[in-house]
């Protein structure tokens, strides 16, 4: 049975309540005050759940603790820097949604400065600071931020990189996510670099983020090439192992499929989104949380920054899916 939009919103609010009830007045979260991983999606969550006091607090904490020249990783340990621009994209989007345009604009400027001009990709630093490669997920995050900021030309350039990366994958059974600055694909076995199509223990979020960006660019331009690319990613998702329906890295696949339904009205995308999302609905705890199982066996064992991030991200998608799937969810109800 399909959930109703109100059921999705209620689930999102349970997660947002848990985060909000523990957020300090200065915007820090006790126990992870200095962990950027705990905060970078909070502006989006508080914007979607309409929590102005928490929004103001998180803006203050991001500014005072993490913000420096458009980047949000001031005095951050080097092992966290590898996905710096992925996080910066989320933060830029969220701050723009909250109306904090000064920091959002600075973050947008920073992200544009991190683009590889000959390709349109936004870089990441997977090995050590200063050693940069082009990254699919980071470029998706930046593209979404650019669209929110009204920087459509930059978003389209990111999209063109994603199109070219998708079209020229060297191995049919592997989706390679990172390339060096010359454009060569990095054939690394690290699961953050590659998705083994049909394999187990995969990280699926890049497929969903790509579907989302292509759907948004199709909505922006009306150019069918974006929809063709999104359909190719949809087909890839459908070839994945059935574990995709029961792992926490599937959330963006549901998000991307929902956005494809929103811009096309094709029910197959809504059906995929809800099939993936059912596990997230079923595994939310009464207090609004999620466990990264089987990586951790209990919430007590799970690091607090992971618990906070899972609550924030899964919670915000509840609001996004309630909007994107509304036309499908209200049918026959």
Dist CA 188 CA 210 (whole Å): 20
Mean pLDDT of 129-134: 88
- Which of 58-62, 157-161, 326-330 is predicted least confidently? 326-330
Dist CA 203 CA 205 (whole Å): 6
Dist CA 143 CA 90 (whole Å): 10
Share of the chain above pLDDT 70, in %: 99
Label residue 282 by pLDDT band (50, 70, 90). Answer: very high
pLDDT at 298 over 90: yes
Report DSSP letters for 89-110, one per residue: HHHHHHHHHHT-HHHHHHHHHH
pTM above 0.95, yes or no: yes
Tokens of 232: 């190719």
pLDDT digits (tens, 9 = 90+) for 5-18: 999 999 999 999 99
pLDDT digits (tens, 9 = 90+) for 111-123: 999 999 999 999 9
Asked if residue 80 lies in contact with residue 73, where contact means CB atoms within 8 angstroms, the answer is yes
pLDDT digits (tens, 9 = 90+) for 196-233: 999 999 999 999 999 999 999 999 999 999 999 999 99
- The CA-CA-CA angle for residues 199, 298, 279, to 5°, reads 50
The pairing of strands 174-176 and 194-196 is antiparallel
Predicted local distance difference test score (pLDDT) of residue 81? 79
Dist CA 174 CA 197 (whole Å): 6
Nearest Cα residue to 42 out of 28, 31, 34, 30: 28
Instruction: Between 157 and 172, name the one with better pLDDT.
Output: 157
Report DSSP letters for 252-293, one per residue: HHHHHHHHHHHHH--HHHHHHHHHHHHHHHHH--TTS----T
319 three-state secondary structure: helix
| Residue located via tokens 């990172």 | 178
């Amino acid at each position: 049975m399909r959930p109703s939009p109100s059921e999705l919103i209620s689930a999102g609010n349970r997660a947002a309540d848990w985060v909000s009830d523990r957020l300090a007045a200065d915007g820090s979260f006790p126990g992870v005050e200095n962990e950027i991983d705990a905060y970078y999606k909070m502006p989006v969550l508080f914007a979607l759940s309409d929590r102005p006091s928490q929004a103001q607090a998180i803006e203050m904490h991001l500014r005072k603790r993490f913000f420096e020249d458009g980047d949000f990783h001031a005095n951050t340990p080097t092992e966290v820097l590898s996905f710096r621009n992925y996080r910066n994209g989320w933060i830029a989007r969220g701050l723009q949604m909250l109306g904090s345009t000064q920091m959002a604009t600075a973050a947008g400027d920073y992200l544009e400065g991190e683009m590889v001009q000959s390709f349109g990709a936004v870089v990441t630093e997977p090995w050590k600071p200063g050693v940069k490669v082009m990254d699919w997920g980071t470029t998706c995050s930046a593209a979404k931020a650019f669209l929110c900021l009204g920087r459509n030309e930059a978003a389209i350039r990111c999209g063109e990189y994603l199109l070219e990366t998708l079209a020229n994958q060297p191995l049919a059974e592997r989706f390679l996510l990172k390339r060096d600055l010359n454009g060569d694909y990095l054939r690394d076995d690290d699961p953050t670099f590659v998705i083994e199509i049909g394999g187990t223990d995969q990280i699926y979020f890049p497929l969903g983020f790509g579907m989302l960006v292509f759907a948004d660019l199709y909505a922006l331009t009306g150019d069918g090439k974006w929809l063709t690319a999104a359909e190719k990613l949809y087909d890839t998702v459908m070839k994945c192992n059935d574990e995709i329906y029961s792992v926490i890295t599937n959330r963006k696949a549901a998000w991307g499929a929902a956005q494809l339904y929103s811009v096309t009205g094709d029910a197959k995308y809504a059906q995929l989104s809800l099939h993936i999302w059912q596990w997230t609905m079923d595994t939310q705890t009464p207090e609004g949380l999620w466990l990264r199982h089987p990586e951790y066996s209990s919430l007590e064992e799970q690091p607090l920054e992971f618990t906070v991030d899972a609550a924030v991200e899964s919670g915000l998608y509840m609001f996004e899916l309630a909007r994107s799937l509304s036309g499908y969810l209200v049918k026959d109800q």
